[in-house]
C-alpha cells in the first residue's frame, strides 16, 4: 500500500461524523423504505425452489416480518486455479457466508422512516491471488483472510418523502460508490472497487471485508438524478505489523475507529430512459483522503529515495476523480428491466507523485437473457487496465532494476447460469498481463509471467 500516516488532530473527523449523525434526530415527515417482504422471504431465495417447506423456517420469517424484521443469508463458494503463469500453479477454494438482518423501525418501534441493517461474514479458504498470482487485481472479489467478522451495521433515515436519506454507522463505501451495475457480471475484484482506489487508500479504504464508521447523505431532486456524499474514517484497520495480513488486525471487525483522517466521497448519478427505450446511467464522482501520503520517488530533501535511502517526502492528502457510463444498447422485445445487451466503461485518475497507480480504465459488454429458455442467464466479457504512475516507474529506474513497473491488464470472460431462482453456477476465465504491474519474480531479473485463471463459482441465497 502507498504510504500513510495518522495525522495529528484527526479526531476532528470524529467530531464531523457526530455532527452529521445528529441530523437523524431532527423531527421530519419521513417514509419508511426497508426491504422486508410480507412473508420475510427474499425474492431471490432458493428455499422456495429447493425446499418449499423451509422457505418460512417454520413460520419464523412471517412472524418477524409482521414486526418489520427480515433476515437471510447468501453463500458463495468457488474453485480457482492458474494452469499457467504467476509464481506457482495450483487450485484454491474459498468461500463466503454473508448473514444479514434488516429492520423497519417504523413497524418495530414506531419511528417512521428509520431502517436498521446489520450483516456479518464467515470467510474461509485460501487466496489464489496472494499465493499464486501476486497481481494487483484480486482474481476473486470474495478473497480475504479467513475470519468471522462484522461487516456493516447502520441506521438510515429517509426524509422528504424518500428523496433524502441519511445513513450512519459502520459502512462500506464499495456498496454505494463508484460501481457500474453491468460490471456485477464479473468476479474479479476490480470490476467493483477498482485496483486504483484499493491500492491508493489505506488498506484499500472502507471496503469488503473492512467497513469503517461513516455518514452518507443522499438527495434525489427527481427520479433521474441522485447526489451522494459521504465521510468515512479512511483507515478501517489501524496499526498492523508488516508480517500480518490486514485481516489479522481488527480481526472481527469490532474496532470502530475514529482517530484517523477522514475520507470524503461525492458522486452524481444521472439516469435516463428509465421507463422505456435504451436506459442508461452516467456517474461523475471523486474522493479526497485527508491523510499523509509518501512520495513515490523523492525524499524529504527532494533527492532521489532510491539513491539517498532517506525517508520519503510526505504529501497532504490524495484524491481520485472518476466517470462511469452504463448503457443498454439492445433491449429484448417485450422485456422490462430484464434482458438485452449493455456496455459499461469507467475511467479514473489520481496524482502520480503520491500513488503507485495514477490511471485506471475498464470496460465490458454484458448479454442478459439472450437464450429464450434461460432468461436469467448472463454472459459477459470485461477488460481492465491499471496504469503504474510515472513516478513509481522512475523509482525502479533510479534503483537500477532490470524489470520496471508499467501496467497490469485483465481480461475476464464469465457466464452465470441460473440453476433455480436464487442459485447460480458461474464458470469463469481470466487472463492477467504483467501481474503486479510488471514486477520481478524470485530470480529478480525476469517479470512474473502472464497468468491464466480458470474456475467456477456457485452462489446460493436463502
Please write the tens of the pLDDT for every residue from 191-237.
Answer: 999 999 999 999 999 999 999 999 999 999 999 999 999 999 999 98
By the 8 A CB rule, do 92 and 140 touch? no
By the 8 A CB rule, do 185 and 416 touch? yes
Q: What is the pLDDT of residue 125?
A: 97
Helix (H, G, I), strand (E, B) or coil at 175: helix
CA distance 86 to 318: 31
Q: Of all residues in the chain, what percent are helix, strand and coil, respectively (each to 5)?
A: 20, 45, 35
Q: What is the pLDDT of residue 241?
A: 80
CA distance 172 to 167: 11
The residue among 98, 180, 183 whose CA lies nearest residue 378 is 183
By the 8 A CB rule, do 83 and 89 touch? yes
Q: Is the peptide bond before 47 cis (omega within 30 degrees of 0)?
A: no
Cell, residue 64: 418477524
Cell, residue 355: 500513488
Low-confidence ranges of the chain (pLDDT < 70): 1-35, 38-43, 53, 58, 335-338
Say how far residue 348 (Cα) sits from the centre of its chain.
15
By the 8 A CB rule, do 329 and 344 touch? no
Instruction: Find the helix or strand (DSSP H, E) in which 306 lies.
Output: helix 305-308
By the 8 A CB rule, do 345 and 282 touch? no
* Residue in this structure with the C-alpha cell 465521510, named with its chain if needed: 231
Helix (H, G, I), strand (E, B) or coil at 67: coil
CA distance 39 to 54: 12
Q: What is the pLDDT of residue 15?
A: 36
Q: What is the pLDDT of residue 34?
A: 66
Phi and psi angles of residue 31, each rounded to the nearest 5 degrees, phi first: -125, 130
Alpha-carbon distances of 420 from 49, 53, 73, rounded to whole Å: 7, 16, 16
Helix (H, G, I), strand (E, B) or coil at 164: strand
Q: What is the pLDDT of residue 59?
A: 75
Q: What is the pLDDT of residue 40?
A: 65
pTM: 0.89
Alpha-carbon distances of 399 from 312, 350, 356, 441, 461, rounded to whole Å: 15, 24, 16, 17, 51
Indicate the CATH number for domain 11-26+71-461. 2.40.160.180
Amino acid at each position: 500500500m502507498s504510504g500513510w500516516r495518522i495525522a495529528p488532530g484527526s479526531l476532528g473527523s470524529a467530531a464531523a461524523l457526530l455532527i452529521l449523525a445528529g441530523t437523524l434526530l431532527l423531527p421530519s415527515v419521513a417514509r419508511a423504505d426497508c426491504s422486508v417482504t410480507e412473508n420475510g422471504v427474499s425474492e431471490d431465495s432458493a428455499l422456495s425452489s429447493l425446499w418449499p417447506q423451509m422457505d418460512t423456517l417454520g413460520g419464523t420469517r412471517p412472524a418477524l416480518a409482521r414486526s418489520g424484521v427480515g433476515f437471510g443469508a447468501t453463500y458463495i463458494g468457488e474453485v480457482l486455479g492458474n494452469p499457467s503463469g504467476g509464481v506457482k500453479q495450483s487450485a484454491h477454494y474459498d468461500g463466503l457466508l454473508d448473514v444479514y438482518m434488516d429492520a423497519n423501525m417504523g413497524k418495530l418501534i414506531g419511528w417512521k422512516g428509520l431502517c436498521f441493517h446489520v450483516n456479518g461474514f464467515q470467510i474461509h479458504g485460501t487466496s489464489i491471488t496472494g499465493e499464486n498470482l501476486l497481481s494487483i487485481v484480486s482474481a476473486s472479489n470474495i478473497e480475504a483472510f479467513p475470519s468471522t467478522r462484522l461487516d456493516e451495521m447502520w441506521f438510515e433515515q429517509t426524509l422528504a418523502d424518500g428523496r433524502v436519506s441519511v445513513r450512519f454507522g459502520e459502512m462500506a463505501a464499495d456498496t454505494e460508490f463508484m460501481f457500474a451495475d453491468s460490471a456485477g457480471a464479473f468476479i474479479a475484484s476490480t470490476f467493483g472497487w477498482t485496483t486504483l482506489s484499493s491500492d491508493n487508500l489505506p488498506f484499500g479504504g472502507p471496503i469488503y471485508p473492512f467497513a469503517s464508521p461513516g455518514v452518507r447523505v443522499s438527495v434525489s431532486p427527481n427520479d433521474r438524478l441522485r447526489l451522494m456524499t459521504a465521510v468515512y474514517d479512511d483507515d478501517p484497520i489501524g496499526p498492523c505489523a508488516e508480517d500480518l495480513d490486514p485481516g489479522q488486525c481488527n480481526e472481527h471487525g469490532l474496532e470502530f475507529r475514529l482517530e484517523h483522517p477522514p475520507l470524503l466521497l461525492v458522486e452524481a448519478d444521472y439516469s435516463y430512459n428509465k421507463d422505456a427505450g435504451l436506459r442508461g446511467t452516467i456517474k461523475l464522482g471523486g474522493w479526497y483522503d485527508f491523510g499523509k501520503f509518501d512520495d513515490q520517488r523523492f525524499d524529504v530533501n527532494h533527492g532521489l529515495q532510491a539513491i539517498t535511502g532517506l525517508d520519503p517526502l510526505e504529501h497532504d492528502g490524495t484524491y481520485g476523480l472518476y466517470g462511469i457510463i452504463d448503457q443498454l444498447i439492445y433491449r429484448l422485445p417485450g422485456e422490462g428491466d430484464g434482458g438485452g445487451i449493455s456496455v459499461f466503461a469507467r475511467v479514473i485518475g489520481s496524482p502520480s507523485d503520491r500513488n503507485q497507480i495514477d490511471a485506471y480504465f475498464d470496460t465490458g459488454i454484458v448479454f442478459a437473457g439472450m437464450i429464450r429458455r434461460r432468461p436469467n442467464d448472463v454472459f459477459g466479457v470485461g477488460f481492465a487496465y491499471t496504469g503504474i504512475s510515472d513516478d513509481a516507474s522512475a523509482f525502479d529506474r533510479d534503483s537500477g532494476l532490470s524489470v520496471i513497473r508499467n501496467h497490469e491488464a485483465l481480461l475476464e470472460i464469465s457466464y452465470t447460469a441460473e440453476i433455480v431462482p436464487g442459485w447460480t453456477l458461474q464458470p469463469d476465465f481470466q487472463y492477467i498481463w504483467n501481474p503486479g504491474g510488471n514486477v520481478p519474480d524470485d530470480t529478480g531479473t525476469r517479470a512474473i509471467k502472464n497468468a491464466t485463471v480458470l474456475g467456477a463459482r456457485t452462489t446460493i441465497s436463502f
